[in-house]
Each structure stands twice: as C-alpha cells, then as structure tokens.
Amino acid sequence: MTPEALAALHAACFTVPRPWTAAEFTELLARQGTFLLPEPAGFLLGCALAGEAELLTLAVAPDARRAGTGARLVAQFLAEAAARGAETAFLEVAEDNHAARALYERAGFAQAGRRRDYYRHPGGTATDALVMTRAIGAQA
C-alpha cells in the first residue's frame, strides 16, 4: 500500500484521532523498527524496538468490518513483534471506541493507564485515551 492509500483508508476510518496524512505515513514508515501489515480491506502499522512493540494504528474499511480483518492484523502484529524480539506490546485507544477496545481485549490486552482528554473531537470535546498492554507470547 502506498502512503496515499494508507492515508485515504485512515481518513475513511477516523475522525478521532484525526486521520494521518500521506506525509506522516511516509515519515513513520521510514523510522527504525516500524512495520506495515497490509490486508485487502485494512492495515496495521506497528513498531518494535528495544524489547517493546507499539501498535501505532489499525484501520479496517468501514464496509469490511466484523469479518475478522482486525483480529488477523492484531495476531500478525503480535507475531511480527515477537519475531523482532519484543516481550511486551502496548497501544492507546480512545475510551469511546468500544469496538476497538473489545478487539484488543479479545487479543489479551488490558488497560494499564489513562491519558485524560487526549483526543480532541472536531466539535471541541475531548476523550480519554486508554493505554493497553500485554505480554508477547501470553495467551489471550
């Protein structure tokens, strides 16, 4: 997937947090440890360095959701992170993104922290970010 395609899909999936631009995807993909896991209807961008892995973003086309793509991508992320030597994984998710939270909980992630008013909605209200973590190799 090109950075432009990543940005277009990200924009179709997110208003909060704001969608990332093609330039931001280009910059992220050039960073050490960053990896892209593409699927026909979605993608996951992750990073693994120094024994930790971060799930940077996960996007699944709105018309392709609830078909297992997100779960496959999270499983691929955990496998790739393990292959890169990560022992723990973490992510942040908007508190009001119930579908994503359920997906991550099914994959074995648990809340480890909270960032108050981290995400800004277009109308000016704010939503907390939940920090979730799990051990790599731990069973979900």
Instruction: Render pLDDT for 65-108 as a digit per residue (tens, 0 to 9).
Output: 888 999 999 999 999 999 999 999 999 999 999 999 999 999 99
| pLDDT(130) > 50 | yes
Q: At what angle do helices 22-30 and 3-13 cross, to 10 degrees?
A: 120
What is the domain partition of the chain in residue ranges?
Answer: 3-135
Which pLDDT value is given to residue 64?
A: 85
pTM over 0.75: yes
Q: How confident is the model at residue 112 (pLDDT cuts 50, 70, 90)?
A: very high
Which pLDDT value is given to residue 139?
A: 45
> Which residue among 52, 104, 105, 118 is the active-site one?
104
Question: Cα–chain-centroid distance for residue 131?
Answer: 12
Write the DSSP assignment of 19-75 as a string of letters: PPPHHHHHHHHHSTTEEEEEETTEEEEEEEETTEEEEEEEEE-GGGTTSSHHHHHHH
| pLDDT(140) > 80 | no
Active site residue 119: no
Instruction: Render pLDDT for 42-63 as a digit per residue (tens, 0 to 9).
Output: 999 999 999 999 999 999 998 9
What is the third-level CATH fold of 3-135? Aminopeptidase (3.40.630)
Strand partners, 130: 93, 114
| pLDDT(137) > 80 | no
Active site residue 118: no
